[in-house]
Amino acid sequence: MNFAYDKIIQGIGWNQNGNFYKNKYSTTERGNFWLKNIFDPLIDFPYYFKRNNIETNIISLESALKSNDNFVHYITLLSVHRDGNRFQILSTDLVEAINNKQCKLVIWDHEAQPCTKEDADVIVHKLKESMIIPENVILVTSNLLTMKSFPFKVVPWNYWESVMSVTNIDINLKKNPKKFLCLNRRPTDTRTYFVRKMWEKGILDQFNVSLGQVEGTDDFAKTTPYVYDSLSGNFVDGEEGHKEVSWLCSWHQEESYLNIVSESVFDRPDTLDISEKTWKPIAMKMPFIIIGQPFILKKLREYGYKTFPWDESYDEIVDPDKRMESIIDLVVTLNSRKDFIDMIESCDEIVDHNFDLLKRRRPEMDMIRALS
């Protein structure tokens, strides 16, 4: 498999994605920024081909276009739609290679919210504007809801499950643990509401919790920020900043019993996305409750994962306000249980099963078949 990139630096492929990635690495004369694979090799397609014993070649786009060999070139959903129109700066030679099926053009939404039907409609329009045959384009998306009736192929990929399956930490004995872990960083309305409710109910002292500064002058806002996990790391801050957010940390597992996952999306009915936030407790052998979209637990069970011996009916509640109140009631109830530690220990078989399944599954296989 040949993967072609706009630029090759020390064997790593970089793609030009417009002037909205203002990271610290390098710029071209035109002011466009090159997005380095800052969590290379895990972020990129070739790693998962190699993981499944498929040989790959990293080549420059210039050399790919001079050859007769087939190749894959990918661009981001952000660059195509939400922050620009990457199609407009594709070379005439590359458009020709796409249209004659020498190049498979892949649009990938890994760096943003998952692609919606509205996004896909815009992609169709922009492809036609750019004289690109849609049938020669593949959309790789973390949106697990089925999207049909598009002229290009749509391939769901649980990317973060793949990442966490090859990311390891030592599973250690507990060290003076608190009952709950709840990492939030950005104080979105949903995250702020949940943490505020725990504070109002007087049980926030049972949490290892992070939450950024909440705007306002009320008593709760004055208690913020809560610093446990890093509050500063994000994708464009550079390599270390990203790892602070997305990599596994042994102290999360050592210092807490139950992971209350603050998912990236809580109320967005047109997508179903399972981010790294859910896969992290599975990779750390921790039981969890998910503050996220409905039916995430149902989807995990479809994959073969097991969930936990408490009331998980919140997962089936579509109304976001009622779902949040159900989660709050559940956490308060679990906190009050005198057999809390025994309850957690009864989950050992479940977390072991989930960990083993995470290591065995290959969620990238549909993506590999589509690109091969």
**Each residue's pLDDT tens digit, 272-296:** 999 999 999 999 999 999 999 999 9
Torsions phi, psi for 229 (to 5 deg):
-85, 165
Question: Taking a C-beta distance cutoff of 8 angstroms, is the pair 45, 3 a contact?
Answer: yes
228 to each of 73, 183, 231, 234, how far by Cα in Å?
A: 40, 8, 8, 16
Q: What is residue 230's predicted lDDT score, i.e. its pLDDT?
A: 57
Triad 203, 274, 263: Cα angle to 5°: 25
User: Mean pLDDT over all residues of the chain?
Assistant: 86
Torsions phi, psi for 238 (to 5 deg):
115, 180
How many angstroms separate the CA atoms of 183 and 262, rounded?
7
Q: What is residue 55's predicted lDDT score, i.e. its pLDDT?
A: 95
Q: What is residue 127's predicted lDDT score, i.e. its pLDDT?
A: 92
How many angstroms separate the CA atoms of 313 and 294, rounded?
10
Does the pLDDT at position 134 exceed 50?
A: yes
Q: What is residue 44's predicted lDDT score, i.e. its pLDDT?
A: 78
Q: What is residue 9's predicted lDDT score, i.e. its pLDDT?
A: 77
Q: What is residue 21's predicted lDDT score, i.e. its pLDDT?
A: 37
| Cα end-to-end span (Å), the chain | 7
Does the pLDDT at position 39 exceed 70?
A: no
Mean pLDDT of 71-95: 82
Triad 127, 133, 136: Cα angle to 5°: 110
- pLDDT above 90 as % of the chain: 68
- pLDDT above 70 as % of the chain: 86
- From-to residues of CATH 3.40.50 in the chain: 166-360
Region of poorest pLDDT, from 54-68, 107-121, 126-140, 304-318: 107-121
Region of poorest pLDDT, from 118-127, 199-208, 322-331: 118-127
Q: What is residue 83's predicted lDDT score, i.e. its pLDDT?
A: 56
Q: What is residue 243's predicted lDDT score, i.e. its pLDDT?
A: 38
Does the pLDDT at position 261 exceed 90?
A: yes
Q: What is residue 43's predicted lDDT score, i.e. its pLDDT?
A: 65
The pair of three-digit structure tokens given for residue 105, joined into one six-digit string? 């053009």
Give tens-digit pLDDT for 310-343: 999 999 999 999 999 999 999 999 999 999 999 9
Please name the fold of domain 166-360: Rossmann fold (3.40.50)
- Closest of 245, 242, 231 to residue 280, by C-alpha: 245
Task: Decide which of 238 and 231 is more confident.
Answer: 231
Q: What is residue 153's predicted lDDT score, i.e. its pLDDT?
A: 94
Residue at token pair 């109140």: 325
Q: What is residue 23's predicted lDDT score, i.e. its pLDDT?
A: 37
Alpha helices in the chain (DSSP H): 45-51, 61-66, 77, 92-99, 117-129, 159-165, 189-200, 219-223, 239-246, 250-254, 276-283, 296-303, 320-336, 340-345, 348-360, 365-371
Does the pLDDT at position 221 exceed 70?
A: yes
